[in-house]
Amino acid sequence: MIEQIRDLLVDKFGEEAVIRLDEQPLQPILVVHAAYIEQIGFFLRDTEGCYFDFLSNISAVDYFPEDRFSVVYHLASLPYQTQVTLKIELQNNRDLKQLPEVDSVSAVWRTADWHEREAFDLMGIFFRNHPDLRRILLPDDWDGYPLRKDYVDAESYHGITTK
């Protein structure tokens, strides 16, 4: 199934849209070029035979000490009872003033709104064109992104000791 999806994406968007098929994990992952993620989302949602109408999860991965992150999209087609996992890879120098960026898929799947906010809040992934990208679990004035592997816990927050 995943090979067919890869072939559909290559036919639609060209060879540059699909970086590789990673078959090593328990569930195969289609690694796609980040610049195509929204277009690929619309295509997989709206194309007969695919109809991936449900985004069940978005997760972000930190490859510290490398300056690399990835965003993983878990999609399901309820009518066809199939699943596919997409992944994009992002390079970033870990400067908290220049977050890794990717286009939002919230226009494709409404559930992405909350998933992307969580990835932003906890990992510091910036989703361009997100309708309301702000922290979802932490206070607005929190410093840093606590799921990053190089995150250092604050000594205190507004006078409250955190350790």
pLDDT in tens, 73-132: 999 999 999 999 999 999 999 999 999 999 999 999 999 999 999 999 999 999 999 999
Nearest alpha-carbon partner for 55 in 33, 34, 28, 85: 85
The SS3 assignment for 134 reads coil
What's 100's domain CATH number?
A: 3.30.460.80
pLDDT given at position 148? 96
Global pTM? 0.93
Angle at the Cα of 119 from the Cα atoms of 113 and 120, rounded to 5 degrees: 85
**Residue 135 lies in domain:** 2-161
Split into its structural domains, the chain has a count of 1
Q: Considering only 25-29, 50-54, 102-106, which range has the smallest mean pLDDT?
A: 25-29
The SS3 assignment for 69 reads strand
Residue 35 has pLDDT above 90, yes or no: yes
CA distance 156 to 159: 6
pLDDT given at position 133? 97
pLDDT given at position 7? 96
Query: If pLDDT is split at 50, 70 and 90, which confidence band does 4 have?
Result: very high
Residue 156 has pLDDT above 80, yes or no: no
pLDDT given at position 163? 66
Angle at the Cα of 58 from the Cα atoms of 83 and 107, rounded to 5 degrees: 90
Residue 25 has pLDDT above 80, yes or no: no
pLDDT given at position 33? 98
Nearest alpha-carbon partner for 119 in 98, 100, 141, 143: 100
